């Protein structure tokens, strides 16, 4: 049986590198980025220029769209010139080339302002006094977006643009609000005991998106591991995708 053909935009970044390494045995992976990937064949092109990237999309089953400036502290002019263009171009190129599914790397920063509210404001500081981990009111994907900066605004834009391309053009558009994914693969501060997404669970979630039923036309999913103190709801990713994270940040607590 032929392997599914997967294109990863922004493949040379951290998320792209982890996904390319973990998925290349199951799928035929190609990359698209300004720099060559160490893991998979890469088309070198600027994702903010539609005509330059379009050839890479033909013959592809699924696009994993990671291309953007990855810093949550990016200034608005950078977000406008890079992130918004890269996201809209990936969707437009997918439409033109006949790609069936686009998996958009959204971010928890699309709803980051909820962390100003109780009890999340205490949890991100590691203050669990008076709280029960299994009784936290979870932030769901049905709740309004609350971006915590230009980067988060761009991620909310990508989710909305994906909805349009799904409704208007029939593309299956799935958005993953990635939690904390770092090179170390473990919590590096108190907040990350709640927000960590390990490399293993990242790969599980994106593979679940790739293999989700073709009639799943739109969805937003939080990308987080099975952390004791997580405050994002993953029930729809369990139901829609069969995602079952295996890691809990608490295993690093004593260290």
d(CA 228, CA 113): 21
- The DSSP secondary structure of 164-191, one letter per residue, reads HHHHHH--EEEEEEE-B--TTSS--SST
d(CA 187, CA 110): 21
pLDDT for position 171: 98
Band the pLDDT of 104: cuts 50, 70, 90: very high
Task: Assess whether the previous peptide bond of 119 is cis (omega < 30° from 0).
Answer: yes
Per-residue pLDDT tens over the stretch 227-241: 999 999 999 999 999
Share of the chain above pLDDT 70, in %: 99
Q: State the DSSP code for 156.
A: H
pLDDT for position 254: 79
Band the pLDDT of 2: cuts 50, 70, 90: confident
Burial class (CB in 10 A: 0-12, 13-18, 19+), 236: middle
**Assessment of whether the complete model's pTM goes beyond 0.75:** yes
d(CA 11, CA 133): 36
Per-residue pLDDT tens over the stretch 151-183: 999 999 999 999 999 999 999 999 999 999 999
Per-residue pLDDT tens over the stretch 54-92: 999 999 999 999 999 989 999 999 999 999 999 999 999
Domain extents for the chain?
5-252
Instruction: Evaluate if residue 202 carries a pLDDT over 70.
Output: yes
Helix (H) or strand (E) holding 155: helix 150-169
pLDDT for position 255: 58
The CATH class for the domain spanning 5-252 reads alpha beta
């Amino acid at each position: 049986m032929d392997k599914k053909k997967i294109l990863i935009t922004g493949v040379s970044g951290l998320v792209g590198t982890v996904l390319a390494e973990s998925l290349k045995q199951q799928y035929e992976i190609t990359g698209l980025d300004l720099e060559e990937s160490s893991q998979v064949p890469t088309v070198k092109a600027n994702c903010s220029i539609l005509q330059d990237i379009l050839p890479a999309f033909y013959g592809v089953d699924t696009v994993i769209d990671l291309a953007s400036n990855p810093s949550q502290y990016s200034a608005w002019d950078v977000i406008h010139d890079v992130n918004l263009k890269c996201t809209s171009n990936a969707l437009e190129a997918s439409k033109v080339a006949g790609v069936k599914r686009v998996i958009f790397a959204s971010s928890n920063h699309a709803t980051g302002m909820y962390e100003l509210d109780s009890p999340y404001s205490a949890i991100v500081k590691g203050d669990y006094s008076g709280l029960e981990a299994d009784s936290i009111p979870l932030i769901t994907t049905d709740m309004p977006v609350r971006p915590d900066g230009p980067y988060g605004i761009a991620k909310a834009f990508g989710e909305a643009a994906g909805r349009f391309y799904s409704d208007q053009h029939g593309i299956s558009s799935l958005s993953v609000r990635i939690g904390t994914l770092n090179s170390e693969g473990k919590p590096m501060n108190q907040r990350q005991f709640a927000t960590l997404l390990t490399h293993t669970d990242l790969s599980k979630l994106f593979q679940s998106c790739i293999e989700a039923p073709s009639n799943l036309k739109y969805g937003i999913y939080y990308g987080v591991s099975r952390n004791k103190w997580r405050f994002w709801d993953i029930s729809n990713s369990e139901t829609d995708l069969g995602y079952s994270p295996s890691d809990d940040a608490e295993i690093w607590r004593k260290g």
